[in-house]
Structure 1
């Protein structure tokens, strides 16, 4: 039985391309943008942005079979922004290190309303799973964006209240805010991707050793 591959295709403004697997559906949703300083990455300002994510994410949905209304898109952004704040807090703990820009840190501080937003989304009907003819897992289609967001919110609740809640990490690279859950056995994952930030760190360390040799 084949299992669909996980990992989002990513590309940066400098043209680099790599695969990012954050280890959870809800964390994949965060790459679509976010509150405050993360708004520059916004892709949920149009239905096409959500549809692209549906196909690229571990849901592997046919975007043509998912109804995306203006209201559902706005709800998706609210839930996504609330998730960012809650997940950021889980990754950094209740005490945050001093930041050069306190305003940016405040933008990612969760409120009781953020939890309520996620819970409201999770209370709606989610996507319905099914077994495909070839024995693989798939989702019942057609569906709508509210079902997608409910599925994401339920995944977030499972992650934030489950055994890996203390394994939610932010990439160690100083200029990367991607968040992942470390499901590795030793629990020592540091980078969003070895293809991207991990290799950059190795190259910097190699140059530093050469400069001091």
Structure 2
């Protein structure tokens, strides 16, 4: 199974790779409501189009022709925010607000259409990929992701990244071993060394 990761930058300026495990969870790193507003990167339709050209949908085929309106952008952000609230509730063992779940269900209609080039048989997305299709793809993926029951939040005290735990044992703890997992290892090693008798 191929993996896909996005490069993020932490508060300390260090870059690291993060694979959230699904398209809808990937959308959550673009910002959100409340405390997540400071991470917002989707300010204009062009921002969503740019983000799409580097999202995990490109593992199927490149996304070159995108048409997103201001209304599309606002609907995608509203869906993202509803999914964030549902995913966080589930990651903390709480029941999500049924209205947020229904918002996801209501948006599952249209999705991008894969098509084969008749001459080369190369796989591509039917052009243009629209904002409405992005909304539908994110909603359908969110519904499938929720149904797995495997949404987790990073175990680091100062990290709120959410991911799909696809590990065989179901025991993934960290958003990234490069970042939070490594910091935990360093702290554990330091504590162990300090506890050793002189």
TM-score normalised by the shorter chain: which range applies? 0.7 to 0.9
8 A contact 1:34–1:81 mirrored in 2: yes
**Conserved? CA contact 1:54–1:62, under 8 Å:** no
Q: 1:134 to 1:195 in 2, by over 3 A?
A: farther
Q: Which residue of 2 is the match for residue 82 of structure 1?
A: 82
Alignment of 1:172 with 2:151, yes or no, is no
Mapping 1:50-69, distance limit 5 Å: 50-60=48-58, 64-69=64-69
Cα drift, residue 64 of structure 1: 5.0
Displacement of 1:177 in angstroms is: 0.6
Residue aligning to 1:21: 19
Deviations 1:10-39 (A, max 9, x none): 112422111111111111111011111111
Q: Decide whether the 8 Å contact of 1:9 with 1:56 is kept in 2.
A: no
Task: Give unmatched runs, 5+ long, in structure 1.
Answer: 96-109
Alignment-derived partner of residue 188 in structure 1:
171
1:70 maps to which residue? 70
* 16-25 or 170-179: bigger deviation: 16-25
Larger displacement relative to structure 2 (134-143 or 197-206): 134-143
TM-score, normalised relative to structure 1: 0.82
1:136, CA displacement in angstroms?
6.7
Per-residue deviation, 1:137? 5.2
Deviations 1:45-88 (A, max 9, x none): 22233123212210127565111111111111100000001111
CA distance in 2, matches of 1:140, 1:113: 32
Pair 144,13 (structure 1): closer, same or farther in 2 beyond 3 Å: same
CA shift digits 1:155-193 (9 cap, x unpaired): 1111212xx21x210000011111111111111110001
CA contact (8 A) 1:20 1:192 kept: yes
Structure 2 residue runs without a partner (length 5+): none
